[in-house]
Amino acid sequence: MRLRDLAGIDSDSDVTCVSIDHRRVAPGCLFGAFEGARFNGEDFIPEAIERGAVAVVARPGVEVPGAALIADERPRRRFAELAARVMAPFPGTAVAVTGTNGKTSTVEMTRQLWRMAGHRSASIGTLGVTTSDDQVSTGLTSPDIVTFLSNMAGLKKLGISHVAYEASSHGLDQYRSEGVPVAAAAFTNFSRDHLDYHQTMDSYFAAKMRLVDEVVAADGTAVVWTDDPRSGEVIEHVRRRGLKLLTVGRAGETIRLVSQTPSPLGQVLVLSHEGGKEQKLALPLIGAYQAANVLVAAGLVLATGGTWATTFTGMGRLAPVRGRLERAVITPAGAPVYVDYAHTPDAIEAAIAALRPHVEGKLIIVFGAGGDRDQGKRPDMGRVASRLGDVVIVTDDNPRSEDPALIRAEIMAAAEGAIEVADRRAAIGRAIEVARKGDIILLAGKGHETGQIVGDRVLPFDDAEVAREMAA
């Protein structure tokens, strides 16, 4: 594509690639130069041009000797728009999910429901890029814009027609998941997280609302879980934008959750679609909050042309999502060990609520808090765990550059009666050692992750694998 056709610049130069990493610039590239938390991409403009960049997207006034400047007050957004035009085509149907918790499960369940309806589908998020044939890890909920668009274009080449992706607050704020037409947006819930980045809850919420306010197509649909304290505000955003609204939950009009009852292998839901007759669904997933994820996923399928009959049948055949209340092993004493990605106070409370109906003895919780992340949530996590758990073991969870002992101390200060075991392997071993038949062990925080980040190293560590080793 010629630069004049791409950006209206008087140049016959061909744009053949896009990059935000100067080291990956090749002749004909469009280079995005942005200010970041650690580096300023503007500092690498000369090197990008030397490598062959024909144009640079940056702030007004930035010097770009030897290449065209595409100036914009929001260069990340402008770059995403242009990069998408260069890298298209993409799958014809894309939906995005935002919220503090439940994004990963919801996009993966949406993928599964689409597949059962006969569509070639994929999900993109914390678990990576998942299709029915493969899974590739990206390492981030929202990868950089070039990786995101490259993934989307690659899925199109594979014949994927439907994609559901996670829209994190960081990704939305930094325009990391733009450029692909979004047919439907979904909201799961909202609670404290990422205040190290957003500073305030209002700023965090505003970042989430970009999905509804700007990203989803003007003629698109919003699926809203009704039973969150901020759901009403989300619905106001939807109505102001003029989007079609589908609501799901106990107060839902599209799918109403009439009741839910725990069962030995999951739960039984009673649902009503569009005010119709009540139907009983045997959902093969443990946890009350999983019902929320399932219904939001079902709403997205309905928003993209799915039928209620096919979607309802598919919900009863959903498979568990990796690291989301995943049963890793049963200890020699007969206590099941569940692994969950819960790493906020709200998520830990939800995981505990999910398992509590199945506990005959004690609920044993092992968790920690990540370093270089929102410090204010640590005592809240300790408070929730000690209030709702029976045995609480505080350990390490990706301390990164912080002193692990200080992180644990901040949790322990509010975790009355908790036990401190620094080494995570030893903590899991301790939980398995004290567990008896009728107890349940919850390993919270790492979920699907396969590494423990200490300093600048990533050490191999998988909660599920370690639990199986310690229980052998």
* Per-residue pLDDT tens digits for 434-470: 999 999 999 999 998 999 999 999 999 999 999 999 9
Q: In what order do the strands lie in the sheet with 440-444?
A: 326-330, 336-340, 440-444, 363-367, 391-394, 419-420
Residues 259, 365, 197: CA angle, nearest 5 degrees: 85
Mapping DSSP to helix (H, G, I), strand (E, B) and coil, where does residue 131 land? strand
> What pTM was estimated for this model as a whole?
0.82
Looking at the fold, whether 143 and 72 belong to one and the same domain comes out as no
Looking at the fold, whether 51 and 142 belong to one and the same domain comes out as no
Does 399 appear as a known binding residue? yes
Looking at the fold, whether 382 and 459 belong to one and the same domain comes out as yes
* Per-residue pLDDT tens digits for 123-140: 998 888 999 876 554 444
Looking at the fold, whether 243 and 138 belong to one and the same domain comes out as yes
Chosen domain end from 54, 77, 100:
77
Does 142 map to a domain?
yes
| Distance from C-alpha of 298 to C-alpha of 341, rounded to nearest angstrom | 22
Residue 431 contacts residue 441 (beta carbons within 8 Å): yes
The count of residues in the chain is: 472
Looking at the fold, whether 202 and 104 belong to one and the same domain comes out as yes
Does 222 map to a domain?
yes
Does 362 appear as a known binding residue? no
User: Per-residue pLDDT for 263 more than 60?
Assistant: yes
Does 43 map to a domain?
yes
Looking at the fold, whether 211 and 100 belong to one and the same domain comes out as yes
pLDDT at 411: 98
**What's the one-letter identity of residue 64?**
V
- List, in order, residues 6 or more apart from 150 with CB less than 8 Å away: 87
| Distance from C-alpha of 370 to C-alpha of 351, rounded to nearest angstrom | 18
Does 108 appear as a known binding residue? no
Mapping DSSP to helix (H, G, I), strand (E, B) and coil, where does residue 362 land? coil
Q: Which of 436, 237, 449, 188 is nearest to 343 (CA)?
A: 449
What does residue 278 show for φ and ψ, rounded to 5 degrees? -75, 140
Does 100 appear as a known binding residue? yes
| Distance from C-alpha of 105 to C-alpha of 81, rounded to nearest angstrom | 28
Does 390 appear as a known binding residue? no
Does 320 map to a domain?
no
Looking at the fold, whether 371 and 444 belong to one and the same domain comes out as yes
- List, in order, residues 6 or more apart from 199 with CB less than 8 Å away: none
* Per-residue pLDDT tens digits for 84-94: 999 999 999 99
Q: What is the mean pLDDT of the chain?
A: 93
Which CATH number is 147's domain given? 3.40.1190.10
Mean pLDDT over 393-415 rounds to 97
Does 449 appear as a known binding residue? yes
Does 16 appear as a known binding residue? no
Residue 452: exposure state from Cβ atoms within 10 A (0-12, 13-18, ≥19)? buried
Does 398 appear as a known binding residue? yes
User: Per-residue pLDDT for 283 more than 50?
Assistant: yes
Does 121 map to a domain?
yes
Looking at the fold, whether 215 and 302 belong to one and the same domain comes out as yes
Residue 197: CB atoms within 10 A of its CB come to 16
- Domain span at 68: 3-77
Does 174 appear as a known binding residue? yes
| Distance from C-alpha of 350 to C-alpha of 334, rounded to nearest angstrom | 24
What does residue 166 show for φ and ψ, rounded to 5 degrees? -80, 130
Does 445 appear as a known binding residue? yes
Mean pLDDT over 368-393 rounds to 96
Could you please report the per-residue DSSP string of 203-235?
HHHHHHHHIIIIIEEEEEEEEEETTSTTHHHHH
Does 259 appear as a known binding residue? no
Residue 265: exposure state from Cβ atoms within 10 A (0-12, 13-18, ≥19)? exposed
Looking at the fold, whether 61 and 37 belong to one and the same domain comes out as yes
| Distance from C-alpha of 160 to C-alpha of 154, rounded to nearest angstrom | 9
Mean pLDDT over 396-416 rounds to 97
CB-based burial, 288-306: b 16+ in 10 Å, e otherwise: bbbbbbbbbbbbbbbbbeb
Chosen domain end from 289, 315, 341:
315
Domain count, the chain: 3
Looking at the fold, whether 66 and 131 belong to one and the same domain comes out as no
Does 377 appear as a known binding residue? no
Does 147 map to a domain?
yes
Looking at the fold, whether 454 and 333 belong to one and the same domain comes out as yes
User: Per-residue pLDDT for 235 more than 90?
Assistant: yes
Which CATH number is 45's domain given? 3.40.1390.10
Chosen domain end from 284, 315, 346:
315
* Per-residue pLDDT tens digits for 80-124: 999 999 999 999 999 999 998 889 999 999 999 999 999 999 999
Does 176 appear as a known binding residue? yes
Does 170 map to a domain?
yes
Confidence of residue 195 (pLDDT cuts 50, 70, 90): low
- List, in order, residues 6 or more apart from 68 with CB less than 8 Å away: 3, 7, 9, 11, 13, 54, 55, 56
Looking at the fold, whether 113 and 193 belong to one and the same domain comes out as yes
Does 82 map to a domain?
no
Does 123 appear as a known binding residue? no
CB-based burial, 373-383: b 16+ in 10 Å, e otherwise: bbbebbbbbbb
Higher pLDDT among residues 388 and 324, named by residue:
388
